[in-house]
Structure formats: structure tokens, C-alpha cells
Amino acid sequence: MMLHIPQVLTKQQVAQCRQIMDRAEWVDGNVTSGHQSALAKNNLQLPEDSDAARRLGDLVLTALERSPLFISAALPLKVFPPLFNRYGEGQTFGTHVDNAIRAMRGSDFRIRTDLSCTLFLAEPEEYDGGELIVEDTYGEHSAKLPAGDLILYPSTSLHRVTPVTRGARVASFFWLQSMVRDDGERTLLFQLDTTIQQLAAERSHKDPQVVQLTGIYHNLLRRWADS
């Protein structure tokens, strides 16, 4: 499932992020690349152990905790600390798949990458090109979202970033391990949760059918979840 999650960050928070990033030092984006990605990647990145990256990452993680849509869709168990990249003119990231396991340097923290996230930090009109292209069995899907919006997609997907031809594409990117490993099961739970919320708004959380469906949701989550 590929999902657009709007307004994870407010415009004021985006401006705060950009101020921090504008004052920060950038390095070659291949500092975090696997072997396959290194052959396709051409961008800049904030060092993951820098003060700027930590401050920005904390801001993003706090915002994600306040996003009911993100929690419902991702069912996060562990989130890799957000990273930050910049694509200037002529820079791109060719077709690749994300590493199955991500480990944080200097610690025993590691995750299985079930879902990949891109949080856009530049408005679409600030740059040309720079679309995120995600491939699945239904073809190719393009994302170039307003600043503060996030795209969530399975880490198993082949994906790329098209060349930037004007301006700069700035974003946060990160991965998460979901409580529910299987994308199909996770999608069903998200659809069921969305339906329950719609019914509860139309009727009541005490409505017998809402209560029954809520029970089904939690029993399926109990069957499928790791914790």
C-alpha cells in the first residue's frame, strides 16, 4: 500500500526545519548507502550523527506520534531515526530497493525495513524534476508532495528519484518496522480501521456493529502482530 499522509508538519515547522538545514554542513549522500544504492545515488545528506540531524529527527518523530493516519496505516513498532537529503540540479537516485535491515551506527539498534517514508520539505514549485517514482504490480506511481506531507510505501518496492533540473529538492527519509510484517495484512487492518472510524462518526462508538467490528480489528491485530 502506498499512502499520502498530508500535513505531518505544519508550514511553520517546515520553515523551522529549513532554517536548521540551511545552516548545516552537507556531505555525500552515499555515506548511508548499501552497495546497490551507491551505484545509483547522487545527492547530499546531513550527517546522521550531526546535531542538526538529531534536532530535525526529534521534531519529525514527535510529529509522527501525533498523526493518527500514520499510526493507523503503519502500525509502527520501531522507527529508524529520520535522515535528511538534498538533490540539487542534475542530481538523482536511480532505481533501487532499500536494504532489508537498517542498523544505527555505534549502537545495537536495528530494524527490519517494512515501510519506507519520504517527508517532503520543499514545495513542488521550488524545483523541477525530483519526483519519487515507486513501482508495484500496477505500474509506476509518482509522488511530489507539498512541504510537510509524507508518502508511505512498502520497502520491498523498486523506487527512484528523477533528476532535478531546477532548484533543490529537500526531504526527510526513513524506514520503520511495523508490528504487522505482511503488507496485505497491514492494508486490510488499515481499511478496517478506517471503516470503523467512519461508522463511529456516523453512528456512535457504542453502536453494536461498531463494537463488533472493533473486536474483529483487535483480534486480527492480535493474530498478526509482533511486539
| Res. 39: pLDDT tops 70 | no
pLDDT at 213: 97
One domain, residues 94 and 191 = no
**Arithmetic mean of pLDDT, 138-161:** 97
One domain, residues 39 and 64 = yes
Q: What is the mean pLDDT of the chain?
A: 95
What's the N-to-C CA distance of the chain in angstroms?
A: 22
Report the C-alpha gap between 40 and 7 in whole angstroms: 30
**Arithmetic mean of pLDDT, 28-50:** 78
One domain, residues 198 and 133 = no
Report the C-alpha gap between 223 and 227 in whole angstroms: 11
pLDDT at 29: 85
One domain, residues 197 and 159 = no
| Res. 41: pLDDT tops 90 | no
One domain, residues 36 and 141 = yes
pTM: 0.93
One domain, residues 189 and 161 = no
pLDDT at 195: 97
CB count within 10 Å of CB 165 equals 12
Tell the burial category of 136 from Cβ atoms under 10 Å away from its Cβ (0-12, 13-18, 19+): middle
Confidence grade of residue 36 (pLDDT, cut at 50, 70, 90): low
| Res. 32: pLDDT tops 90 | no
- Report the CATH number at residue 205: 4.10.860
One domain, residues 108 and 142 = yes
One domain, residues 11 and 87 = yes
| Res. 37: pLDDT tops 60 | no
pLDDT at 46: 97
- Report the CATH number at residue 133: 2.60.120.620
One domain, residues 32 and 65 = yes
One domain, residues 164 and 190 = no
pLDDT at 92: 96
Q: How many domains does the chain have?
A: 2
Domain residues for 172?
Answer: 3-178
pLDDT at 34: 55
Q: C-alpha distances in angstroms, 61 versus 52, 82, 98, 107, 189?
A: 14, 8, 21, 19, 23
Confidence grade of residue 111 (pLDDT, cut at 50, 70, 90): very high
**Arithmetic mean of pLDDT, 85-110:** 94
One domain, residues 30 and 119 = yes
Report the C-alpha gap between 98 and 214 in whole angstroms: 34
One domain, residues 164 and 194 = no
**Arithmetic mean of pLDDT, 4-16:** 98
pLDDT at 33: 54
Q: C-alpha distances in angstroms, 135 versus 46, 62, 63?
A: 27, 30, 28
Of the three residues 142, 162, 178, the one that is the final residue of a domain is: 178
| Res. 90: pLDDT tops 70 | yes
